[in-house]
Amino acid sequence: MPTVHFTRHLESFFPGLGTQEVPGESVAEVLGVLNVRYPGLAAYILDEHGALRKHVNVFVDESMVHDRMRLSDAVGPGTRIHVLQALSGG
């Protein structure tokens, strides 16, 4: 199963989120499972069309996700997924 890592910012809104193994064969499937485990999580990561929000980056192993619209990037056992939210402001 892929392992998903999150920024501490998201962990503050979803206690227990932390790093965890999640079943799925694509980034979309993995995020879907996580949204069931942590209702509302997807709203922080995805826009109303299911695409990644502008301020969110997802990395699959060492590469930024290629399909920001459908999140169809393949994942499998041993894949590391990092969900990062950019922080902005003055």
Distance, in Å, from the CA atom of 38 to the CA atom of 43, rounded to the nearest integer, reads 11
Q: Is the pLDDT of residue 22 over 90?
A: yes
Contact, 58 vs 6, CB < 8 A?
A: no
pTM, 2 dp: 0.92
How does pLDDT run across 37-70, given as a tens digit for each residue? 999 999 999 999 999 999 999 999 999 999 999 9
pLDDT at 88: 64
Contact, 81 vs 58, CB < 8 A?
A: yes
pLDDT at 57: 95
Tell me which residue has tokens 């999580």: 41
Specify the 3-state DSSP secondary structure of 44.
helix
Name the pLDDT band for 86 (thresholds 50, 70, 90).
confident
- Domains in the chain and their CATH numbers? 3-85 (3.10.20.30)
Q: Within the chain, where are the H helices?
A: 8-13, 27-37, 41-45
